[in-house]
A and B are shown apart, each in its own frame.
Chain A
Amino acid sequence: MTEQKHIVIIGGGPAGLQAASGLKDSGHQITIIEKESTIGGKLNSWHKLFPEFQTANDISVYLINSINNSNTEVLKQTIVTKITRENNHFKISTAQNHSLKADAILLATGFELFRAEKKEEYGYGIYKNIITSADLESSFRQNGLKDLLLGKTHPRIGFIHCVGSRDKKCGNTYCSKVCCVTGVKQAIEIKQLIPHSQVFNFYMDLRMYGQNFEELYIEAQQDYSINFIRGRVSEIAENIDGTLQIKAEDTLSGRPLKMNFDLVILLAGMENRQDYDNIMDNNIKLSRSNGFIVPINRHVRPNETTIPGIFIAGTCREPLSIQETIADAKSAASTITEWINKQSN
């Protein structure tokens, strides 16, 4: 029988919850530290998930239920301030004056949405009818765009892909991976809500990498008449009536274009969480690429870091979908169990 160890999971989003679920029967003590007042992470503010439009809340409830009636301790509204290594364990300090001793730590800290206001030419935070994909999900959850479109029955709506992704100017050269299909999914949702709307997606190229993603893209064009224009938008400005004027280049026709929209949605990419950058003690150095934590080996040891005892799961390593995050967290739980067993032997 392996001695009971204490595994601390930092982050109570999909990765943290799934990992806790995978570890709950391991016989070890599990603690989740979550900075928000509720667990579930960004799933809590999402409406539906691609590609099958499953309700995000269902997944969130499933994950939360999976740790109910277990011995998993959840510390909500708790912010980790320092992680130090002491002999064979770690000491975790929090702003709420906890001091936890951990044998293993799973970082499931997730991502930050790219701050779209950094793309100043798009006017997010300045023009009222420019929102992000995350704002749109909140609006879907709350009132189905009523506040945004004020009852317009034939609105023209534009999606701008790759905002904060594959963009050297804002410092992010990587692809956030999930935005393309999110744009397609959200465009379809808008057409379902407002059938007479005109929806345009401005893209560089569409990376429909996952199962049924390509089918969704074809469905968007064939069944919903959603327009896809290959070209980046150079700037957005507000017209006197509050509508938005965008300038773009249609790179397929090789011509500049100018169009007016009632609503523009910026498909903001993923960035690493910077608030966790400085919590590690000086002798704990995690390798990073594009800000995300680099595992020992992406192919065969994707959940292990260069620091023995510190593991990673989910989007703190790289942009991932919810499906991939959950699979990755299962992998992380299994990896941690194996590692503890090896340490005990």
Chain B
Amino acid sequence: MKAEGKKKVWSDYQKNIADNHYFYVRSCIRQTFFPGSETTFLKILRNNLSKDIFEDARHTTCTGIGYHTDIVPFETLMTIIARQFALMTEAGYSHFVPSCVTSFGIYTEVLDTWKHFPETEEKTREYLWKATKREFKVPDNLAHTSDIIYKFRENISAISKYRLVNRKTGEPLNVVEHIGCHYSKMFPSSGVGGAEFPAVLTGMVESWGGNVIDYPERRHCCGFGFRQYLVKANRGYSLSNSKKKFESMQPYKPDFIVANCPGCAMFLDRWQYTIAEMEGTTYDQFGMGIPVLTYEEMAGLVLGYSPWEMGMQMHQVSVEPLLDKIGVEYQKNEKYKGLHGQDIGKPQKPQFLIV
């Protein structure tokens, strides 16, 4: 591996990321999958980076899942996107920041369609006006939330409480970074670092002291792919994709996986339980699996946020071994307490995966 070769590729894929005043749109699934991540993002931006970020509770799903499963027509999707832009315009913002990678791909695709086929934008404006009497401006800047964290990675590093370093050995933690397909595989120039050697998560990991693993199946789909898991009969295919990745990364002994897509983080985490139940296989030496983090959780840990306040007790693979490696201070007995100290209940123990 020649690091300078990668840097050359990255230099070809730099994108303009606005530095303040963001209009934030949440994911429709992340709050269920990783419930504290979006709140952590807002806290980091507002409290640690002193940025202005606004969200409007009236925003809706982008309908991306429906679109990618051929349920929602493109014209409908464009009109819904136009409504989100209208909310942004009404709030006086022009920097649009979606939390979900599929949404980011949808927004990128719609803007690209409007650029090349201006008549579709005009038609969408007409539909939106007929449906809602709203108007909108196209965002000046579209960036995924991981782009924002990437942009401020050195600022975060400067105020970090912890590093992505094994506290006992002093060695950098080995990190698997996984980019959602819809982040840059459809439009390579829309992602930091492009599609083949994306830099968005790598940049964060390296800035915070970690070491990124370049394993053979790095580019392979996590297994989330809508058509793989939405149809129940196809879920074996979804699982086999994840398994292929785990087997490929295992020899590099990763300390954790970080992803920037709701589905990737979800499936790479939960399928480890499924594989363990099916085959008795785990991909670490202690039978506990490889912890899977969202980039907000990774940033939050570095900044000293409580793992339980970030919702990390909701992970299938326990994060405690990782917390111990980093040296994060946490209360074991508070893992299953809610924000207000109430008992949220303990999950049933799996047969093979140690939690």
Contacts and interface: CB of A to CB of B under 8 A. Distances in A.
Interface stretch (B2-10, B87-95, B102-110): B2-10
B9 A240 contact: no
Contact of A126 (B194, B195, B197, B251): B197
Contacts of A215: none
A125 B8 contact: yes
B215 A126 contact: no
Interface in B1-30: 1-2, 5-6, 8-9
A345 interface: no
A274 interface: no
Given A117-B9, A120-B9, A126-B6, A237 B217 contact: yes
A240 B194 CA distance: 23
Interface residues of A, number: 15
B102 to A, nearest CB: 23
Nearest to B219: A235
Contacts of A123: 5, 196
A58 interface: no
A128 B2 CA distance: 7
A240 B5 contact: no
B5 A126 contact: yes
A282 interface: no
Contacts of A125: 2, 5, 8
B331 to A, nearest CB: 38
Nearest to A119: B196
B252 interface: yes
B216 interface: yes
A237 B218 contact: yes
Contact of B216 (A117, A120, A124, A238): A238
Nearest to B188: A120
A239 B216 contact: yes
Interface in B25-67: none
A172 interface: no
A73 interface: no
Contact of A245 (B1, B9, B194, B216): B216
Chief secondary structure at chain B's binding surface: loop
Contacts of B9: 117, 120, 126
Interface in A111-166: 117, 120-121, 123-128
Contacts of A237: 214-219
A245 B244 CA distance: 14
A123 B215 CA distance: 13
Most buried by B among A121, A123, A126, A128: A126
A245 to B, nearest CB: 4
Interface string A221-261: 00000000000000101111000010000000000000000
Interface in A275-303: none
Contact of B1 (A117, A121, A127): A127
Contact of B196 (A121, A239, A245): A121
B172 to A, nearest CB: 17
Interface in B186-238: 194-197, 214-219
A33 to B, nearest CB: 31
A128 B214 CA distance: 14
A245 B248 CA distance: 11
Contacts of B252: 240
Contacts of B197: 120, 126
Interface in B150-195: 194-195
Contacts of A124: 5
Contacts of B6: 126
Interface of A: 117, 120-121, 123-128, 235, 237-240, 245
10 contacts: A117-B5, A120-B9, A121-B196, A123-B5, A123-B196, A125-B2, A126-B9, A127-B5, A235-B196, A240-B215
Interface of B: 1-2, 5-6, 8-9, 194-197, 214-219, 251-252
Given A128-B1, A235-B219, 15 more contacts: A117-B9, A120-B9, A120-B195, A120-B196, A121-B196, A123-B5, A125-B5, A126-B1, A126-B2, A126-B6, A126-B9, A127-B2, A127-B5, A237-B214, A240-B251
